[in-house]
Amino acid sequence: MKPFTYERVTDVRAAGAAVLRPGARFISGGTISWT
């Protein structure tokens, strides 16, 4: 298992600050379309 931490942000400024943490990535929605 690869441990990771999670946080939910509710404003843009907090999001920008949170992703500066080493190893951090945003998560959100998206769809794929290859066909």
Interface positions, 14-33, toward other proteins (CB under 8 A) = 15, 18-19, 21-33
Distance CA 34, CA 2 (A): 29
Name the nearest CA neighbour of 15 among 3, 1, 27, 32. 27
- At closest approach, how far in Å is the CB of 35 from other proteins? 6
Question: For other proteins, how many residues bind (rule: CB under 8 A)?
Answer: 29
Rounded to 5°, the CA angle 27-9-13 comes to 105
- At closest approach, how far in Å is the CB of 16 from other proteins? 9
Contact footprint for other proteins (CB under 8 A):
2-12, 15, 18-19, 21-35
